[in-house]
Structure formats: C-alpha cells, structure tokens
Chains A and B, each alone.
Chain A
Amino acid sequence: MDRIPIIKVGDFLLVSIQVDMHDRLVMSLQDDLTTQVVKARAKGVLIDISSLDVVDSFIGRMLGNMASMTRVLGAEAVVVGMRPAVATTIVELGLSLTNVRTALDVDKGMAVLRALVNPAGDEGGHGSGQN
C-alpha cells in the first residue's frame, strides 16, 4: 500500500492506519490529511491507531503534528485505540504527546469530536486530552 486511506464520515474524516508505516508513508499521510481537511471542510479528524503495534518517535511526532495542523485549520483531532503495550513503551521512550486528544475507541472518539464541535449539544462525551 502506498497511501493510507482517508474516509469522510459526515463532517469528520476517519483515518484508519492498518499497516506498519515506513517514514515516507507517514509523511505522505500528513500531507494528504491536511489537504483533505481543507478540501472536505472537515470539522474533525479521527485517527484510529488500534492496528499499530509500534509507535516510535517518528510516528509519534507525526501524530502530534497532525493534531496541531488540524487545529490550525480550525478542526479538532482525536487519536483513538492506542494499545496498552504501545502506550507503556512510548511513555518510557519519553514521548508524552500532551497536545494530542485521545479516546479509547472509534465510538468514544466520535463522541469526543461531536462534543468539541458542537458544545451546546448534549452529547455527553469528554476528551481526556489537555491543551
């Protein structure tokens, strides 16, 4: 695979990373995503990493970048599904990703996005990320 698919779901974009990515693939995803956020006038981005069994500092930095860039473009981003072993490892590596919002799974991530995009609506979701 030479591109990670980005799917539009209503006002949101869903990126589901299903393969172990080499660095160039990571970079192209970053480019594609920012382009798509603008083109689709997306209000939120959901990045599902539940299939990833390794997140190193490069992928970690990319996740942080995608979250920040999305925010700069006026949308919200949530990273969902990080595995326990991956979380333990990247904390030890020294990566904190404090600017990235997170949620347990796609459903909860969607709830977080809806609550962020439409704070008046009674969605009941909550983000655990700090800004």
Chain B
Amino acid sequence: MGPGRTETFPLRTDEDVLRVRQTVRIWMVEQRTFSLVEQTKMVTATSELGRNVVVHGGGGTARLELLSEGGRLGIRVTFQDQGPGIASIEQASRDGFTTGDGLGLGLGGSKRLVDDFEIASEVGKGTRVTITKWK
C-alpha cells in the first residue's frame, strides 16, 4: 500500500516497541525506495522514541503514516503519551542526559537519524514527538 496509509499502535510494553519498529521496517521495505541505511536509521529512531513512551511517558501510542508531498515519498511516526512531560527539552535532548538509567542518547540521537524531528511537551500533560524520513 502507498501514501495515505496510516495505522496507530499502542505502546505499553517492550513487545509493543518491537512491533512498531518492525512495522516501520516492513512499510519502508515495501516502498522499495529507502536504502538499507535509511531504513535502519528510521527503525532505530523509532525504537528509541517508542521506548521513551513506555519507560518515561507511562505508555501511549505510535501513529505510522506514509506520505507523499509534491511527488516526494515519506514515512512519519508520531509518538504520543499523556505522561509527566519534559521540563526542559533542550536539556533532555543533550547527549548523555538521562533521568533514568539509560544512555541518554534517545532524543539527541534520533534527531540525527531522521530528516524532520519535532517535539512538543508540557509538564503534567504529556509529550508528542514526530519524526519523518523523506525519499
């Protein structure tokens, strides 16, 4: 299936993160235009941000979309949770910063792996991160 396709997945457990990243891989392979490195970068960013939803955001959802814009093909994943939110996005995005026991590479690293990266968060309300890879 091509552009216009969307699907939303729950993100509550480790297995959910696994399923979402595997689905991103399948969608990208099916499009036949993304290189192996591009696929791997997007899948890895999905894994990082999906885990953040489960670990830091108390669970939420991942929405996958295939896009076409001006003849360009894209895949977008939107991660959404109603968790505690992030007080300082600037600080949280710094490599090595973690409030847990992670490596603190999820936010900063994902941003480097994708073409578009957007984050919106409000303390007490939740966090939404959107990543897109274009071809």
Enumerate chain A interface residues (CB-CB to B < 8 A).
20-25, 53-58, 60-61, 84-86, 88-90, 92-95
Of listed B14, B36, B44, B109, residue having the most chain A CB within 10 A: B44
Report the minimum CB–CB distance from A108 to chain B (whole Å): 23
A53-B40, A54-B44, A89-B44 known, 7 other contacts, Cβ within 8 Å: A22-B17, A22-B18, A58-B51, A84-B37, A92-B113, A93-B44, A93-B112
Q: Return chain B residues, CB-CB under 8 Å to A53.
A: 25, 40, 43
- Pick 7 A–B contacts, CB within 8 A, sort by A: A57-B48, A58-B47, A58-B102, A88-B37, A92-B109, A93-B44, A95-B105
Contact-residue size bin, chain B (C-beta under 8 Å from the other chain): 20 to 34
B113 and chain A: residue at smallest CB distance: A92
Residue B106 interfacial (CB < 8 Å): yes
Report the minimum CB–CB distance from A55 to chain B (whole Å): 7
Q: Are B37 and A55 in contact (CB under 8 A)?
A: no
Q: Return chain B residues, CB-CB under 8 Å to A22.
A: 13-15, 17-18
Q: Return chain B residues, CB-CB under 8 Å to A56.
A: 44, 47-48, 51
Residue B41 interfacial (CB < 8 Å): yes
CA distance A54 to B43 in the complex (A): 7
B43 and chain A: residue at smallest CB distance: A54
Given A85-B36, A89-B41, A57 contacting B109 (CB threshold 8 A): yes
Instruction: Say whether chain B's binding surface is mostly helix, strand, loop, or mixed.
Output: helix
B41 and chain A: residue at smallest CB distance: A89
Report the minimum CB–CB distance from A21 to chain B (whole Å): 8
CA distance A64 to B39 in the complex (A): 24
Q: Return chain A residues, CB-CB under 8 Å to B15.
A: 22
Q: Are A94 and B95 in contact (CB under 8 A)?
A: yes
Q: Are A88 and B18 in contact (CB under 8 A)?
A: no
CA distance A58 to B103 in the complex (A): 8
User: Which of A54, A90, A92, A93 is B21 in contact with, Cβ under 8 Å?
Assistant: A54
